[in-house]
Amino acid sequence: MDQTKKVKRAVKGRLLPWFSVNKRSMPWRNNRTPYRVWISELMLQQTRVDQATPYFHRFMKRFPSLKSLAEASQEEVLKMWEGLGYYSRARNLHKAARIIRSDHKGRFPSDADEIIKLPGIGSYTAAAIGSLAFNLDMAVLDGNVIRVLSRLFAYDKDTRSTIAKKKLQSLADELLVKGEAGNFNEAMMELGATVCLPQNPDCSGCPLARCCLGKETGTPTDFPKKAPKKKVPHIIVGAAVVTNGKGEVLVAQRRAEDMLGGLWEFPGGKQEAGETIQECIARELNEELGIHIKVGEFLVKVKHAYSHFTMDLHTYFATIKSGLPKAVECQNFQWLEISKLRKLPYSKADLKIIDELENND
């Protein structure tokens, strides 16, 4: 019998029964609605279950329904997403909720072609919502499923390549148990998350062990094959905590089209060649807010890694020498007391500056 048939048989006969006994309890597995599936899937794309759970509860408390999400401001949505990263997901989530309200009478579309048209919903999220909320026969391919499949088939191509993704998607589509897509997808993801772990797969406790070619090689952790990641650039950024003598500091809102768009920050930017960090901060504040500043004492250096670069963020206190702030290269600005800073949404790096200011206060 060919490998696909063997695995298909084992999935139906052993994986699904294993899942019904071993599935973990998760808040979004109760009271399953398309809205709850959507939010949980987006959160789980960037964090583990234990980290996503408090965010999910907080989000559902503030926005218990699609209607409440569509009615909120983008800033409120970003605030609830604060700390999760990938803020374009939060902005798209908000846009999609408004489209569902205007174009679908407030009901989540149940058709695969309509689901994938919504902003921020790619093939993975569409398959997750389609299968889990509407039981459409759509197979999910996430990191866990890629690992499980590449081991089951001892698949030796670079799994980051487009060819490999297509191949693994077609394998997942073939293995999918028709009419039980939700269970199938969750079982595959659960196996990857709890048994077929990246470093220490528990092959002896695995319901698919008897048909796993990766296990047969004796070194299942050789799969999935991945080409080494390219080294990401490192940048130096300067930022200012501008004070006004009234116990307030200046924060600026990033432009919608920029990275971290809509979030608030301590103004600043990337150091250019030949500049000291103080010169960089002074230049950036002039460009962003049209003010001339005097850079004062050092406050904190924050290290942060994004997916495509890493940065050291050097933060200094500053005062205005001349000019009044204007939103030149930012969307908006505000003077706020330190105790009120947290009412706005920020990136993780700026939250660390706020921690430092609160400790200093």
**Minimum distance from CB of 12 to ligand SF4 (Å)?**
16
**Minimum distance from CB of 170 to ligand SF4 (Å)?**
19
41, 82, 284, 288: the catalytic one is 41
Q: Which is nearer to ligand SF4, 1 or 273 (CB)?
A: 1
Q: Which residues bind ligand SF4 (CB under 6 A)?
A: 148, 151-152, 195-196, 201-203, 206, 208-209, 212, 214-215, 220
Task: Assign residue 344 a region (left: φ > 0; alpha: ψ between -120 and 50; beta: otherwise).
Answer: beta
**Minimum distance from CB of 2 to ligand SF4 (Å)?**
17
Q: Which is nearer to ligand SF4, 99 or 213 (CB)?
A: 213
**Minimum distance from CB of 149 to ligand SF4 (Å)?**
9
Q: Which is nearer to ligand SF4, 57 or 210 (CB)?
A: 210
User: Strands (DSSP E) along the chain, which ranges?
Assistant: 234-243, 248-253, 264-265, 268-270, 292-305, 310-322, 332-337
- Residue 41 tokens read as 């899937």
**Minimum distance from CB of 22 to ligand SF4 (Å)?**
13
Q: Which is nearer to ligand SF4, 212 or 252 (CB)?
A: 212
The count of other CB atoms within 10 Å of the CB of residue 177 is 17
Q: Which is nearer to ligand SF4, 206 or 280 (CB)?
A: 206
Q: Which is nearer to ligand SF4, 204 or 359 (CB)?
A: 204
**Cβ burial, residue 4 (10 Å; 0-12/13-18/19+):** middle
Alpha-carbon distance of 45 to 144, in angstroms, equals: 11
The answer to whether 121 and 34 have CB atoms below 8 angstroms apart is no
- Does 41 participate in catalysis according to the annotation? yes
Alpha-carbon distance of 168 to 107, in angstroms, equals: 32
Q: Which residues contact 338 (CB under 8 A, 6 or more apart)?
A: 247, 249, 354, 357, 358, 361
**Minimum distance from CB of 21 to ligand SF4 (Å)?**
16
The count of other CB atoms within 10 Å of the CB of residue 112 is 18
The answer to whether 187 and 15 have CB atoms below 8 angstroms apart is yes
Helix spans in 63-121 (H):
66-71, 74-81, 87-103, 112-117
**Cβ burial, residue 297 (10 Å; 0-12/13-18/19+):** exposed
Q: In one letter, which amino acid is 248? A: E
Q: Which residues are catalytic?
A: 41
